[in-house]
Homo-oligomer: A and B are copies of this chain.
Amino acid sequence: MISVIIIGTGNVAQNLFEAFFKVSNMSVTAVIGRSNTALAYFENRTQTLTDYNKIPQADVYLIAVKDDAILEVAKKLPKQGFVAHTSGGLGMSELLPLKNRGVFYPLQTFTKKKIMNFSSIPICVEATTESGLALLENLGKKISTKVVVLNSEQRAKLHLAAVFANNFTNYLYTLGAQICEEASVDFKLLAPLIKETACKIEAITPLKAQTGPAVRGDQKTMDTHLQLLENASQRELYKGLSKAIRETHHSKKN
């Protein structure tokens, strides 16, 4: 039996709550939030609290709040408790001066009102003690088939890689949508292509999967594209990405 207290009420907190709630041999003892309005989602399913002085005992205190609020929240938690945050970008040191501390980072993008199936979501764990690490591994395995131990440096790099693969990729979709809109073409026509591009990485490396005018060195098509782009910032990104593709693939081949 593992008991968890969740601090936070946002997308990550809600998703973790739902994942834990379904599992046997564990309990979410309480959820702590800034206001009863924020806590409304969890009401009647577990104890909800706004007062840190009333926090019950639990095996793990899981901080699922914004990065810049983690330290402030951590200071209010019982000194003897085992505390972990759920941030990919921050190290364990964020929880200093707590001694028993760790990280429980679910690598996924969470959207409001969308509850995810955790079984294939990687959970990256790290802790200051072996017993803490074992506890977080057990907790992870209750909801996911993919629990990996990463140190803070590795997790920081993984989080950075995720910015490229998720945030920046989503921005390229935004540009694609803009270009379609300008031509009165339905952006959703691109959905099957976008999904296939994403799924391909499981079969071949993205390095091998690279296609398009830049990797072919097809200057004629690239010139046409630059003429078609109506905005300077889009042209700059087109040039920058095409140049980087050429450099990457040129240096790999030679």
Interfacial residues, chain A to chain B (CB-CB below 8 A): 67-68, 89, 107-109, 111, 114, 116, 120-122, 124, 146, 148, 150, 153-154, 156-158, 160-177, 179-180, 182-207, 209-215, 218, 220-221, 224-225, 228-229, 233, 236-238, 240-241, 244-245, 247-248
Question: Most chain-B Cβ atoms within 10 A of its Cβ — which of A124, A192, A207?
Answer: A192
Cβ of B180 and Cβ of A161 under 8 Å apart?
yes
A216 to B154, CA, bound (A): 23
Number of copies: 2
Contacts of A121 in B (CB 8 A): 192
Residues of B within 8 A of A114 (CB): 203
Which of B163, B177, B197, B218 is close to A169, meaning CB atoms less than 8 Å apart?
B197
Does A154 contact B185, Cβ atoms closer than 8 Å?
A: yes
Closest 6 CB pairs of A and B: A167-B212, A157-B183, A198-B198, A173-B206, A161-B176, A165-B176
Q: How far is the CA of A192 from the CA of B229 in the complex (A)?
A: 32
Report yes or no: A173 in contact with B189, Cβ–Cβ below 8 A. Answer: no
Say whether A198 contacts B195, CB under 8 Å: yes
Residues of B within 8 A of A233 (CB): 244, 247
Interface SS of A by simple majority:
helix
Given contacts A171-B210, A237-B240, contact A182 B157 (CB under 8 A): yes
Q: Is the CB of B157 within 8 A of A189?
A: no
Docked Cα-Cα span, A212 to B68, in Å, equals 14
Query: In the complex, what residues of B have CB within 8 A of residue A238's CB?
Result: 163-164
* Chain B residues, CB < 8 A from A210: 167, 170-171, 174
Contact B163 A212 (CB under 8 A): yes
When the two chains form their complex, are residues B167 and A169 in contact, meaning their CB atoms are under 8 A apart?
Answer: no
CB nearest to A248 among chain B residues? B174
Nearest Cβ on chain B to A140's Cβ, whole angstroms:
13
Q: Inside 8 A of A196's CB, which chain B residues have their CB? A: 108-109, 116
CA distance A176 to B153 in the complex (A): 15
Q: Are B107 and A225 in contact (CB under 8 A)?
A: no
Counting chain B CB atoms within 10 Å of each CB, the highest count among A68, A107, A182, A198 belongs to A198
Measured CA separation A111–B188 after assembly (Å): 22
Q: Which residues of B contact A201 (CB under 8 A)?
A: 173, 187-188, 191, 194
